[in-house]
Amino acid sequence: MARHKKLIAFDMDGTLLEGRIIQALAEKYDFTDKLYKIQSNQNMEGYQKSQKIAYLLKGRHADEVTKITSEMKLIKNWRQAIYELQSHDYVLGIISDSYKFACDYLAEKMNLDFVIANDLKVDENDCLTGDLVMPFGWEKIGCSCKISVCKRYHLEKMAKKFEIDIQDTAVVGDTVSDLCMIKRAGTGIAMMPKDRMLEDVSDVVIKTHDLNQILPFVL
Q: Which is nearer to Zn ion, 22 or 150 (CB)?
A: 150
> Could you tell me which residues come within 8 angstroms of residue 33 by beta carbon, excluding any fewer than 6 positions away?
none
47 belongs to the binding site for Zn ion (CB under 5 A): no
Contacts of 150-155 with C-beta under 8 Å, sequence gap 24+, read 150/180, 151/9, 151/11, 151/95, 151/97, 151/177, 151/178, 151/180, 151/181, 152/180, 152/181, 152/183, 152/184, 154/9, 154/95, 154/116, 154/181, 155/9, 155/95, 155/181, 155/184, 155/185
CB of 154 to Zn ion, least distance (A): 9
**Please, which residue, 74 or 176, has the CB nearer to Zn ion?**
176
Nearer to Zn ion, 98 or 213 (CB): 98
> Does residue 138 bind Zn ion (CB under 5 A)?
yes
Q: Which of 17, 75, 180, 214 binds Zn ion (CB under 5 A)?
A: 180
To Zn ion, the closest distance from the beta carbon of 48 in angstroms equals 15
185 near Zn ion (CB under 5 A): no
Q: Which stretch binds Zn ion (CB under 5 A): 16-24, 67-75, 101-109, 151-159?
A: 151-159
Identify any residues that bridge with 173 across adjacent strands, giving them in sequence order: 190
146: left (phi over 0), alpha (psi -120 to 50) or beta: left
CB-count burial class (<10 Å; 0-12, 13-18, 19+) for 215: middle
Does residue number 145 form part of the binding site for Zn ion (CB under 5 A)? yes
Residue of 52, 152, 154, 157 that binds Zn ion (CB under 5 A)? 152
Q: Is 6 in the site for Zn ion (CB under 5 A)?
A: no
Which CB sits closer to Zn ion, 143 or 172? 143
State the minimum distance, in angstroms, from the CB of residue 51 to Zn ion: 17
Q: Smallest Cα–Cα separation from 158: which of 18, 3, 8?
A: 8
Out of 21, 68, 149, 150, the residue judged to bind Zn ion by CB under 5 A: 150
For Zn ion, the closer CB: 117 or 143:
143
Options 30-38, 65-73, 152-160, 196-204: segment touching Zn ion (CB under 5 A): 152-160
CA atoms of 90 and 162, how far apart (whole Å): 10
Closest CA to 182 of 201, 162, 161: 201
Residues that bind Zn ion (CB under 5 A): 138, 143, 145, 150, 152, 180
